[in-house]
Structure 1
Amino acid sequence: MTGKFETRLAELGVTLADAPAPAANYVPFVQVGDLVFVSGQISQDANGFITGKLGDTMSTEAGAVAARTCAISLLAQVKAACGGDLDRLVRVVKLSGFVNSTQDYTEQPKVINGASDFLVEALGDAGRHARAAVSAPSLPLGVAVEIEGIFQIA
């Protein structure tokens, strides 16, 4: 039986794939008490990595779409941390978003809104969170966005 969060995701046309495997020497998440710290998830979709530099080769709107894919990967990691039961998620506590952008680009918050808005749409009040949105001169594999998160679970 599908839980309330996955039912809502399905209504949004989103199916959580298996959580992405780490690309280097780290673990995808660490649980400490009722908190799950999820490693940075990079922008990617079914076509591969979403690359680009905001303020140069990518628009703010395209960056927000890339950030949304990071949020979907974060939820996949949380589901894995919860033994496959996403309904154990109590709330999103905090996101830290990194935007591959030029030195003069200042719309990082609008880019990370792609993740924040999606999480609230998918999870309701449980998706509301604290957040940071910062610029990075480059990100792994040239991706446009990377987001890490802290989640409370039951």
Structure 2
Amino acid sequence: MALKRDVIVVPIDFSPATDKILDAALDLAEGDHSRLRALHVLPPLDTLAPGVAWGAPFPDTREEGVRNHGRTVLREKRLTDVRFDVRLGHPAHEIIEFAKAEKADLVVIASHGYSGIKRFLLGSVAEMILRHAPCPVLVLRRAE
């Protein structure tokens, strides 16, 4: 049974793994006429963070900056037909909801490979997506 791949969701966080994730998703999409949907999730600002109490950075400016950077990254990889979205919230939750809304057939993500206390404190976005995504998930290991 072949894996249906009409819509592939690719969450990107602009880490060094972003290129690897985009390349893998592009490899999967080629020949299948799949549509790639890239997504970046901005975590909410902590109201106690410096500058937030005074209203800076402005949420619209922050989102616009990320949107522009995402388009630049995609353009540099010649992925001009990839739609890029920005959402605000918890990364795992927003990625899962985005995959549902897009009727994704596959989500391609990277694991940052946290372990021990770091994993306990930060949680595992990849693990939560694996457990709750509405479609298959391909998890790429980070480069050592």
Which TM-score applies when normalising by structure 2?
0.38
- Structure with higher RCO (Cα < 8 A, 6+ apart): 1
Structure having the higher strand fraction is 1
TM-score normalized by the length of structure 1: 0.36
